[in-house]
Structure 1
């Protein structure tokens, strides 16, 4: 009888240790610092905060147009240096055109990568708006972007050129470009 109790206790202890610690993405700010070293943490979109953003969005003004495609990736595994955890995330790509000519197209990005993605969003601890990074591939700049759902079919895009960080183009000599390739304030319509 003692052996059975001991085996059940050992089994229960090991199974508890192997469980994943699931945190709803908006609640992660209440759990800082996050323990991310053993791969058992999962920042999950339990309340579907990313759902309204997923899809194809378009903006146009005169001869300029931009298409933004946002996708939700479930249980994406971050595993580099000291980070080892899972997270649902919002990634995507954009295509910007003027006079029908493609000026910037990031649809070839490897959306399974940790780094080098041109479009990445997450929920900020200080805001309920989806905030993220856009890389202006033409001007080689990082742009901080906030997305705000205005209605089921309208989304506000509010960008700001990041003054303290820039897109690095390998070891090549860089040209510093002024401005941005596309407007930094747009209202997209869901397609």
Structure 2
């Protein structure tokens, strides 16, 4: 009897596993079947993995870029999985004081991860959730210049936060470099 249950479980597991549709990374998300997997079939994300450093307005910015396979994405109507770059960072001022450190961040606040690639431009598009109360949310474009350098462009959305929408006294400072063409060097 136990053997029958184990066999049935394995068959159901195999059917569920094989039912997941694997699609290229840049498949349009509005057309995805529930539970689909957007896989980095062409290794477009791999060249960005590593630790990078830049200086902007006397602040040192260190990016720690890793790749997460099968990152769960939840939309209003659909859940799917995708391979994504996850960017954690530390920003220090000229005195070496840490202004922001997301290396141990597990919340959505300050999260920065890839949502698409633009192979024709050699770019990866990242989504930035923003700081407290979503201040500074927007997109970051990374472009691979060579094996040791990437270019950064941060495009924050303008959002005015009222005290009613963001109670208390949270830090609403955007520490990410708001610029285009900032060069990060691989460490």
TM category, shorter: 0.7 to 0.9
Q: Does 1:97 align with 2:92?
A: yes
Can you list the C-alpha shifts for 1:35-58, whole angstroms capped at 9, x where unaligned? Answer: 22xx2x110001011001111110
Instruction: Return the TM-score normalized by structure 2.
Output: 0.72
Query: For residues 174 and 144 of structure 1, do their structure 2 counterparts lie closer, same or farther at Cα, with a shift above 3 Å needed?
Result: farther
Q: Report the number of matched residues.
A: 169
Query: Is the contact made by 2:136 and 2:159 (CA closer than 8 Å) also made in structure 1?
Result: no
Alignment of 1:101-120 (within 5 A): 101-110=97-106, 115-116=108-109, 118-120=111-113
Q: When you count strand as a share of all residues, which structure comes out higher?
A: 1
TM-score (norm 1): 0.71
**1:157 — aligned with what?**
152
Task: Give the corresponding residue for 2:20.
Answer: 20
Q: SS of the counterpart of 2:157?
A: strand
2:66 paired residue number = 71
Residue 142 of structure 1 contacts residue 165 of structure 1 at CA under 8 Å; is this kept in 2? no
CA distance in 2, matches of 1:17, 1:171: 43
- Give the superposition deviation at 1:177: 5.9
Q: Partners of 1:130 and 1:23 in 2: how far apart?
A: 18
Matches for 1:24-35 after TM superposition, within 5 Å: 24-26=24-26, 28-29=27-28, 32-35=30-33
| Match in the other structure for 1:130 | 124
- Structure 2: unaligned runs, 5 residues or longer: 1-10
- Mapped partners of 1:88, 1:173: distance in 2: 36
Larger Rg: 1
Contact map agreement 1:95 1:104 (CA 8 A) in 2: yes
SS of 1:52's equivalent in the other structure is: helix
